Structure 1
Amino acid sequence: MGSLGKYIKYVIYLVVLLIGLLLGYMIFGKSNSAIEPIEHPQHTQEPSFTCSMHPNVVQKKEGACPICGMDLVKVGASNTTATENQFKMSERALALANVQTSIIGVNATGNQILLSGEVTTNNKTNATQTTLFDGRLDKLEVNFIGEYVKKGQRIGTIYSPELYLAQDKLLTSSSYKDTHEKLYAAARNTLGLWKLSDNQIDDLLKSGKPILNFPLVADVSGTVVEIMASEGNYFKQGDPLFKVAKLYSVWAVFQAYENQLPFLKNGQEILISSKAYKGDYVTAKISFIEPILDRGKRIVSVRVDIENKNGKWKPGMFVEGVVKIENMEEGLVMVPKSAVLWTGEKSVVYKKPNASKPIFEMLQVRLGESVGDNYVVLDGLKLGDEVVTNGAFTIDAAAQLNGKKSMMYAKDLGLEKPISHQENLDLVSPELNIKLKGILNTYFDLKNELVAANSKNVIEIVSKLTKELELIKFDTVDDDLRLNLEEALKSLTDIKKDKSVEGSRLLFKNLSKNFIFLSSRINGYEKPIYVQHCPMADNNSGADWLSLEKAIKNPYFGDKMLTCGSVVRIID
């Protein structure tokens, strides 16, 4: 039965692969219907053939792709145009690829910041129960976190030689209080300073005997959030026994990155939700933004007060906050994240220059802060431009097939030569260079565990990689390096939260973008570093990764599609 199940599994994989190959062929396989060159004067050149899914494969004759076995298609040999970045696609091809476009600055969505945080106790309502005199704690009746303690409640017993002597002194002085009234009053006041009530003192005088194990009484009220004491230990006056909090009000403490700070302010509304209560939100206001930046993580704490009379929000609970950005800078250009394709440190989008024609061109853009689902565009686009927001990778593949500049093919971006660090003027200090080498080695370990689909090792290596990155002093590096380090830490945090292999593989895409940049700043690495690309990763959006081997071992699919991908760049 096990053999049959395994056989059926491989049949299913084969069927899915054939369907994908058929779809790729339908979209790109017939150049006359899927990709239409813009008509320009013809120039004769030798024809060549390439793979729809692996455009780096180029041959002079028809045949099959050596990577996936798909039939090679003819690259347009006469598509030299006046505008070298532009090409045309048929309406049928656009429909099959579900290509969608959006106009920059019109009907813009996602002008919001998403923050992650945790519910904590409100420090303003916290209190600590302490010992009032030296002694040995014989019994503690507060036994567990979450127990409610009321002021005046008995919380245990304590043996105190000092208290025993004070009681004996009071009893002795009571026998001659009529003649030595001041001595009696002083002895009684001593017990009062230790917060013994008048009733307790009167009971002591009636009994005529000192109490050996004296009862402890709570002088604070609230829910126990921490217990520091244990029975049998000796405590000095003022030592803490346990902490309580009044949970009718709690804090939500969010972590905001440095580039999000310009959009946050005290009094700003924030919509808070938790996975524990899906669809249930609470609206609150930012009450405090930490004035000091964490120099290691480059984050600040943003605090929000939440009413919690029904006890719904529990300390330790993970929450998310959405802050809407109002009164944004006039003329600010923002592009949806789905429109951006990354090639290491470079980012490109596909623009539709003519709204009435299915013509596209690749543009390199310079991006600023991340705002919700958008990036601020510093250069490359203007308000009113129409860009591809869904199917950008498909458009890029079409560009490659049509002989145009393409993100997928290193030659088209002027990166066909291995990068030489001797030409790189932005190398880091020798000390940081050594640290980055070690961090890069850990990245390669993480990539290998994703290939092997070993979830336990993935989380362990992610924790190790996080610690190594946090040792870098972010304030000593340039802005580009700092930004990539911060984004890498965020990706690692997301991977640790997700924990699944599938989720880790998806999040590995963004992490690899940052490490491709980091690797270009390292000098003297012992081996060539290969930038590899899989066009089918992330639901056919495509993804890059780094490898020390030229042979493809795909971390996004593992043994399901182990060799899917190609080398697009070499960092030497």
Structure 2
Amino acid sequence: MNTNNTDKNNSKKSATKGSLITGIVLGAIITLIVVKLLPSQPQPGSEVAIEKEDKPLYWVAPMDANYQRDKPGKSPMGMDLIPYYDNQSSNEKNEGAGTIKISPSVINNLGVRTTRAKIQSLQTKINTVGYVTYDEDKLVHIHPRVQGWVDKLFVKSIGEPVVKGQPLYKIYSPELVNAQEELLLALNRKNERLITAAQNRLVALQLPQSAIDELKQTRKVQQNITFFAPQNGVIENLNIREGFFVKPGSTLMSIGDLSQVWVKAEVFERQAGQVKQGTPITMTLDYLPGKVWQGHVDFVYPTLEPQTRTVKVRLRFSNENGQFKPNMFAQITIHSNTDEKALLIPKEALIRTGNQDRVVLALGEGYFKSIAVTVGRFDSKHVEIISGLSENEIVVSSAQFLLDSESSKTSDFQRMDLEQHQDNMTETTAVNEIISATVHGTVTAVMTDHRMVTIDREAIEKWNREPASVDFIVGENVDMTLFTLDAYLMFTFEIQQGEFVIVSAMTMTKGMSHQMPDNAIKGTIATGASQ
């Protein structure tokens, strides 16, 4: 029994060993066949090389090429560092001076947005403010022709309404008394030539005709003569009181007719060419919200205001119901539309420096280049390009500051043949944030009523911006009294909807050494206008 079991176990072990040996042999044969069929491995000297993964050389701040790090992080301005690759410099050299190459992922992260230059109508619209004033054609100033004393004053305050023929004041003048006596003497002598001369003298002294007629009838000299209002209106200026001594040349009072008023507004020097007599306008008043008045420019003043560098324009409105009151502020829109076609790009695509205007061209396939352009007129959204661009060329309208700061280092600012690059770049979503910077500058012009100033600002090194003279709007929370002519300031401004808005300011001593902290200049990708 035991012997049989032992024989069976030995038989099973022998079969298992045989199967194992057979499997090993078959595996070796299959491996040999596969190895022979596979291509040989590249040798160290062969032309076939293993492609290496493209890794960044370093990370750089978008607004400061000198700020470099060996790993991702934040710049002193709070912006994400951008990777810089080894093949970027060689690619840029091959594509022309100033051409830069940006990877699609970086384009997306920066929020680069592009648009085409198009030929269309320039819808020029100028927004400004003005103030209501008297129609100076109907403003009468009252002056005496004789010296004397104001015996009685019939109007007591500025703004008091008067009607034509209403008594204004009564005056005692020895000169008028003598002139009346001369007429009486001529009447007694019945000398027509003397009578005519005496009457003409009284008329020249502005004695009312009613007083002359009364004198001829009664033959009695009037010691106190009453003078009357020459027109309807309101007292605009009152410089006398009862008992005052007056003499020729002094202004006693002024009477303004409010049946028609003027509205005076100002436009910047660069906008003056868009405004002419007859240009249509619309006007609103805070006094009557929701109501809009239509009118036109009545007169454009021929001189420029030296302090504000603005040109005054005048509007004229009927005021029969008295709704317009002098010194009211008005919001005015001047519509200088034209049917003339022009090559236009969005205002935010234009980069303005102290001595050059330029745009960033999108060449396609991630290539960009800064080029110089000549600009013309502006409207609320667009700018006219006179030279430097052609129709349908693609320009960057968002994040162009970052691209320009890199391209402008080596760019010749000349256009190149772009035909092979056009139509390849797709538009991406913009990041609608605000650029801000802190800089020093000197105030050269102030428009207090408009809260606007012109400042010769110094260079903005972080943005590679040269010194320039720039128009700024002073924010509502900033003290306007800081901005006086020739004042030297350190101020922070933001780009808000294409306008440069000062959000903080402080006076400085020019020439004083100073160093702004890293966080004094703040910036983010913006869609605003350039300087």
- Which TM-score band (shorter chain)? 0.5 to 0.7
Select the residue among 366, 384, 408 that pairs with 2:373: 366
2:291 aligns with one of 250, 274, 280? 280
Q: CA deviation at 1:58?
A: 0.8
Tell me which amino acid in the other structure corresponds to 1:368: V
Aligned twin of 2:333: 321
What letter corresponds to residue 311 of structure 2 in structure 1? V
Instruction: State how far apart, in whole Å, the 1-side matches of 2:104 and 2:288 are.
Output: 46
TM-score, normalised by the number of residues in structure 1: 0.57
C-alpha contact (below 8 Å) 2:125/2:333 kept by paired residues: no
1:240 aligns with 2:251: yes
Counterpart residue number, 2:176: 163
CA-atom RMSD, angstroms?
5.2
Q: 1:152: Cα distance to partner?
A: 1.2
Given candidates 393, 414, 419, the residue that maps to 1:385 is 393
Q: Deviations over 1:299-336 (max 9, x none)?
A: 433333322323333333344232223132x4x32322
- The answer on whether the counterparts of 1:254 and 1:301 sit within 8 Å (CA) in structure 2 is yes
1:337 aligns with 2:347: yes
- Whether the 8 Å CA contact 1:118–1:253 is kept in 2: the answer is yes
TM-superposed deviation, 1:218: 1.9
* Partner Cα distance (1:342, 1:297) in 2: 22
Separation in 2, partners of 1:293, 1:445: 21
User: Partner letter of residue 234 of structure 1?
Assistant: F
Q: Provide the residue aligned with 2:277 in structure 1.
A: 266
Pairwise CA distance, 1:191 = 4.6
Relative to its length, the structure with more strand (as a share) is 2
Whole-angstrom CA distance in 2 between matches of 1:539 and 1:263 = 22
Aligned identity (percent) is 23
Structure 2 partner of 1:93: 108
Distance, in Å, in 2 between the alignment partners of 1:370 and 1:311 is: 38
The whole-number CA distance in structure 2 between the counterparts of 1:192 and 1:537 is: 66
Partner of 2:166: 153
Which one of the candidate residues 300, 307, 312 is aligned to 1:289? 300
What secondary structure is seen at the aligned counterpart in 2 of 1:151?
Answer: coil
1:270 positional shift = 2.6
What does 1:420-439 correspond to in 2, within 5 Å?
none
Indicate the SS of the match to 2:118: coil
Q: TM-score, normalised by structure 2?
A: 0.60
Tell me the equivalent position of 1:75: 84
CA deviations 1:399-430 (Å, max 9, x no partner) are xxxxxxx33x4x652299xxxxxxxxxxxxxx
Q: Which stretches in structure 2 are left out of the alignment for 5+ residues?
A: 1-50, 412-438, 457-465, 525-531
| Residue of structure 2 equivalent to 1:413 | 408
Structure 2 Cα separation of the partners of residues 276 and 100 of structure 1: 42
Q: Is the 8 A contact 1:138 1:158 kept in 2?
A: yes
Aligned counterparts of 1:131 and 1:551: Cα–Cα separation in 2:
64
Pair 1:500 & 2:515 matched: no
Q: Shift of the alpha carbon at 1:156?
A: 1.8
In structure 2, what is the equivalent of residue 527 of structure 1? Answer: none
Spell out the pairing of 1:77-156 with structure 2 (5 A cutoff).
77-80=86-89, 81=91, 82-83=94-95, 84-89=99-104, 93=108, 97=111, 101-105=114-118, 110-156=123-169
Helix, strand or coil: the match of 1:152?
coil
The 1:237–1:361 alpha-carbon spacing in structure 2 relative to 1, beyond 3 Å, is same
- Determine the C-alpha separation between the residues in 1 that align with 2:292 and 2:390: 36
Quote how far apart the aligned CAs of 1:48 are: 0.3
Distance in 1 separating the partners of 2:208 and 2:481? 61
Match of 1:27 in 2: none
1:54-73 map, 5 Å: 56-61=66-71, 64-65=73-74, 67=76, 72=81
1:551 corresponds, among 511, 516, 521, to 516
Q: What is the CA–CA distance in structure 2 between the aligned matches of 1:302 and 1:230, rounded to whole Å?
A: 37
Larger radius of gyration: 2
User: For residue 313 of structure 2, what is the amino acid of its counterpart?
Assistant: V
1:172-211 paired onto structure 2 within 5 Å: 191=202, 194-197=205-208, 199-200=210-211, 210-211=221-222
Alignment of 1:460-475 (within 5 A): none
| In 2: Cα distance, 1:255 partner to 1:172 partner | 60
Q: What is the identity, as a one-letter code, of the residue corresponding to 1:156?
A: Y
Change (3 A) 1:361 1:118: farther
Contact 1:259 1:369 in 2 (8 A): no
Tell me which amino acid in the other structure corresponds to 1:163: L
Number of equivalences: 415
Instruction: Please give the alpha-carbon distance, in whole angstroms, between the structure 1 residues aligned to 2:298 and 2:291.
Output: 22
Distance 1:127 1:93 in 2: 68
What is the 5 A alignment of 1:472-491?
488=470, 490-491=471-472
1:502-558 CA-partner distances (Å, limit 9, x unpaired): 9999xx9xxxxxx9xxx9xxxxxxxxxx9x999x8659999999996443376xxxx
Q: Is the 8 A contact 1:119 1:250 kept in 2?
A: yes
C-alpha separation between the residues in 2 aligned to 1:361 and 1:345?
Answer: 22
The offset of 1:241, in angstroms, is 1.6
Q: CA deviation at 1:47?
A: 1.0
Alignment of 1:9-48 (within 5 A): 47-48=57-58
CA contact (8 A) 2:184 2:216 kept: yes
Listed as ranges, the matches of 1:385-404 within 5 Å are 385-389=393-397, 392-393=398-399, 396-397=401-402
C-alpha separation in 2, matches of 1:304 and 1:206: 50
Residue type at the aligned position of 2:370? L
Q: Which structure's relative contact order is higher, taking Cα pairs within 8 Å and 6+ residues apart?
A: 2
In structure 2, C-alpha distance between the alignment counterparts of 1:211 and 1:223, rounded to whole Å: 29
What's the offset of the Cα at 1:153? 0.8
Which ranges of structure 1 fall in alignment gaps of 5 or more residues? 1-40, 398-405, 417-441, 447-457, 470-480, 509-514, 520-529, 555-561, 567-572
Structure 1: distance between partners of 2:523 and 2:142: 63
Give the whole-Å Cα distance in 1 for the aligned partners of 2:407 and 2:492: 15
